[in-house]
Structure 1
Amino acid sequence: METLQNHIGGRWKEPTGEDVITVVNPATEEAVAHFRAGSPADVDHAVAAARAAQREWAALTVARRVERVHAWADTIAAHTAELAELECREMGKPVGIGRTFVEGAVAGLKAAADQALTYPFSETVTGPGPAGERTDIVRHPLGVTAVITPWNFPVAMVLGALGPLLAAGNTVVVKPSERSPLSTVRLFELADSVGLPPGVLNLVLGDGRTGAALTEHEDVRLVHFTGSVGAGRAVGTATGHRLSRSVLELGGKDPVVIDAGVDPVATAQAVAFGAFINTGQICTSMERIYVHERIADAFVEALVDAAGTFTIGDGLDPATVLGPLVDARQRDTVRRHVEDAVTKGATVRAGGTVPSERPGHFYPATVLTGVDDTMLVMTEETFGPVAPVSVVSSFEEGLARAAASRYGLAATVYTDDPEHIAAAAHLPVGVVWVNQWQGGGPERLYEPARDSGMGATGSRAAYDAATRPAAVHIAAAAPAAAL
């Protein structure tokens, strides 16, 4: 069983906390690694190393920083299969799916770093003052930043945050989820191999207490956090107290609104993918489905058929489509939501029962009908392979019910009606996808709404968050010397 360490100032160091955390393969329930939780002293050392490295890193040209990030990205790309297998061992993601997401994360890292080459770190603005005067707007890096990532996409979440932070001249301390640190540790080993300057990237392992020590540290000027609503509130409180920044992407209960005029079979297949892929463990998984009554029967029948194609198994098996949930606690949440729905009158059309014939934290692709908004499966984040379907009498009713949530991360709409597309754009969410789940390019930026977070991210918004603007006003001439 592997013993994991922190990476601070370019060196691997044993964490100094007292508690030992074990990483368990959720498909086999076998321990695969362990480590001591990082202590506040470890966090202090990591932040100090980042602070010491930041001035020299920021002094490099933008092009040079982008070049270093690209070198790391190319090395990561060469280890895609290995990283996908590590993610499978630590959180259960099937390796085929894992490779796709690692490849996408590498491409995203490069694209985000490249945006630094055209971002206006310095620009001149003019005003109504005397001729010859000007004001320069200079955007400075913040300094030491922190990235705290969840367990469901270890590689993608780390790489998705780091491009703008590093390219803008910041240094970073990363704290991955204690449930899935293996692939993040490997990312740092690969960073060593391309010669990133010591202290530019630092890794501290640990649980929520380690994360709290990082978010509360007085020298951390930005915390980029992805995780639960409760933990996000704590991060926002800590950063707000010391007047530093946070970018928070929190929970989701993403709706799908399906209009009467679409192909019910093709749409059901698309929804099955959005609801069940990665065993439903995606912040933007399709967790509430509102389908027009005119096509509801055909849609549900096709969705049930599609659920049957999501084969359960160990993600190392190429035949597996649906891996395990990350641990017993997450599976218990999924089971509780389904049982609550059934008790209140919902009907299980597919799945709905914990497999008893094998080890591992598995749960089948599940379709529920007859759901309503009194049920947990329609109001709280399930984060599992469950597709609850509610029939609506009109597209407008579907939009209204989609908007009636305390979450506001994303939403997906299937319609060919231009007026309905225009109406969907007003949903109170950060991202609206029309006729294709997870669409969008590197220029996309958004901000979650309601309990799903705060702080715009993506494209230029990520660089705005990673820098501090200062105005330098220059008069036409210095005052003349006195006679």
Structure 2
Amino acid sequence: MTTTATTAPGTVRRATDPSPLLAAGELPQGQHFIAGQFRAGTSGETQAIVDPSTEAVICQVAQGTVEDADAAIQAAFDAKEAWGRTVPKHRSEILLAIADRLAENADLLARLEALNTGKAMMVAEDDVAGSIDSFRFMAGAVRATTSLAAGEYAENHLSVILREPLGVVGVVTPWNYPLLMAAWKIAPILAAGNTMVLKPSEQTPLTTLNFAELIADLLPAGVFNVVTGLGPVIGARLAEHPKVDMIALTGSVNSGRAVARAAAETVKRVHLELGGKAPVVIFADADLAAAAESLRAAGYWNSGQECGAGCRVLVHESVAERFSQLLVEQVGTLVVGEPTAGADVEMGPMISKAHFERVLGHLERAKAAGAKAALGGGALEGRGYFVAPTVLVDVPEGAACTQEEIFGPVVTVETFSSEEEAVTRANQVPYGLAASVWTLNPQLGHDMASRLDAGTVWVNSHLVLANEMPWSGFKSSGYGRDLSAYALDDYSRTKHVMHNKAR
């Protein structure tokens, strides 16, 4: 396949209104939240929080220590028995109250998320709406759990299955969806009757701290705790501490490996949602225009900083050139800008200078391997960590850009000639989080979905989520399920109680 490069420098829409996203006094307290109160860290050290759109420092947040983590773990441990004995109806009512509190403060949360991450406002607002719905769904799900029916499975013995909370759960959340990924963990963990200690990403702690502030009066002290700081310090302590019964992490594969190794010492449960490299398999009979339009969002939503992004296209060679043209046309209309530059801004910056440079390094290596930028291909001028929406074509089979998670606004396009080749190459990556198949043949769509090694497979769509359905991966994408009633199973334990009723 050959496609003429149309690389353009692109532009970043800048805010013309000098009004800040946040008014004075709207920033959360930059301290740890332990046992129902904000408190300063034991070291007194802080870390600067940077706006990736402007590179300006927003505020300072406490840099946590092992002692801070231990204090939060002890608070959660002290609160676990009373909270674990509450009935589902009570926990459900509290989750609904949390959802209502978030809805009342949705605008503030969205602005805070946009400031801290550089997200477009439409993305930040969607994150807040998804967070609210997560709490509302779990509030209902916890009152309608199902288990094997009680019954006489051994003669003269009645068996009963109990679902019990695990106890204290440690949580590590990522920087790409700070509030939403926190909600995906907090809602089922609390619904199942556990207490918790959460460490947000050191780069994006602000909405998590604001969440703690907003719901402080709704939960008993110690049930929900937040410690800010670095993963190798706070995350490692949560993973290794003997009073933590489970560690749940959404993050990189390397972070997942480190957590799993540390957790093994105390044989605690581990829940990992790690990276992805979602293949998008497009057959010759597919609606190419619909696929291109879908990938305009699915490949570039949240600036491509999305583990389920449709970032690796495998398209049949007979329609590859036409599809690439359609994709370039669609992606070329994306509005890139600062979150304050208009409601129609769709794509913001990379989260940090380090990640910005990492994405650019991937692009340089891809070009060196023979890939061509049909669109974008580099940084955008000016302040902030902006990378142009990029479509790479003529990508050689096995190139690093098709195997490694770039985690930026980059979609690669490869070709295949047979169904077997498409399956083999789609499954070659070490990840197995998500994939999609595009065909108007329903039998082919069903069959391909069953053969792709991914926890979620879409047919004729991509990156559509529902709180009622599980989100989980295979292979290096981790294990453990977010969303759905299955998450309640992950954060609880099954106990069999057998009664001898012989007379």
TM-score (norm 2): 0.91
Structure 2: distance between partners of 1:333 and 1:399: 29
Q: What's 2:10 paired with? A: none
2:66–2:234 contact (8 Å) kept in structure 1: yes
Contact 2:378 2:388 in 1 (8 A): yes
Give me the whole-angstrom Cα distance separating, in 2, the residues matched to 1:472 and 1:450.
35
- In the alignment, structure 1 residue 424 sits paired with structure 2 residue 449: yes
- What does residue 352 of structure 1 align with? 377
Give 1:274's aligned residue.
Answer: 298
Residue equivalent to 2:219: 196
**2:32, 2:62 within 8 Å by CA — same for their partners in 1?**
no
Q: Which 5+ residue runs of structure 1 have no aligned equivalent? A: 479-483
1:141 aligns with 165
1:470 aligned to 2:499?
no
Alignment of 1:237-256 (within 5 A): 237-256=261-280
Gaps of 5+ in 2: 1-23
Structure with the bigger RCO (C-alpha within 8 Å, sep 6+) is 2
SS in 1 for 2:308: coil
Does the 8 A contact of 2:72 with 2:227 survive in 1? yes
| CA drift at 1:77 | 1.3
Could you tell me how far 1:477 is from its partner in structure 2?
A: 4.8
Q: CA deviation at 1:16?
A: 1.9
Q: Distance in 1 between matches of 2:357 and 2:203?
A: 16
Note if 1:375 corresponds to 2:399.
yes
Listed as ranges, the matches of 1:61-80 within 5 Å are 61-80=87-106
Distance 2:415 2:362 in 1: 19
1:54: which partner in 2?
80
Separation in 1, partners of 2:41, 2:148: 41
Q: Distance in 1 between matches of 2:426 and 2:120?
A: 31
Give 1:201's aligned amino acid. F
C-alpha RMSD over aligned residues: 1.7
Q: Given residue 67 of structure 1, which amino acid in structure 2 is its aligned partner?
A: E
Percent identity between the two aligned chains: 35
Structure 1 position 261, deviation (Å): 1.0
Partner Cα distance (1:225, 1:398) in 2: 32
Alpha-carbon distance in structure 2 between the residues aligned to 1:349 and 1:294: 19
Distance 1:123 1:7 in 2: 41
Aligned partner of 2:186 in structure 1 is 162
AA matched with 1:308:
G
Select the residue among 204, 209, 216 that pairs with 1:180.
204
Asked if structure 2 preserves the Cα contact closer than 8 Å seen for 1:38 and 1:204, the reply is: yes
Q: Deviations over 1:260-308 (max 9, x none)?
A: 1122222111112111111000011112111112221221111111121
Residues 46 and 202, structure 1, Cα contact 8 Å, conserved in 2 = yes
Query: For residues 81 and 414 of structure 1, what CA distance do their matches in structure 2 show?
Result: 37
Amino acid at match of 2:259: V
Per-residue CA deviation, residues 294-335 of structure 1 (Å, 9 max, x unaligned), is 221221111111121112210122232210110111111111
Structure-2 separation of matches of 1:441 and 1:250: 19
CA distance in 1, matches of 2:68, 2:148: 36
Count of paired positions: 474
Q: Please state how far the C-alpha of 1:18 moved relative to its aligned partner.
A: 5.6
1:412 equivalent among 429, 433, 436:
436
Report if aligned partners of 1:340, 1:375 keep a CA contact under 8 Å in 2: no
Letter in 2 for 1:202: N
| TM-score relative to the length of structure 1 | 0.94
Question: 1:201: how far off?
Answer: 0.6
Measured against aligned partners, the alpha-carbon deviations of 1:125-144 in whole angstroms (never above 9, x if no partner) come to: 321313xx301111211111
User: Counterpart of 1:471 in 2: which secondary structure?
Assistant: strand
- Answer yes or no: is the 8 Å Cα contact 2:46–2:62 preserved in 1: yes
Whether the aligned pair in 2 keeps the contact of 1:122 and 1:139 (CA below 8 Å) is no
Distance 1:62 1:298, change over 3 A: same
Q: Distance in 1 between matches of 2:380 and 2:467?
A: 40
Distance 2:45 2:312 in 1: 39
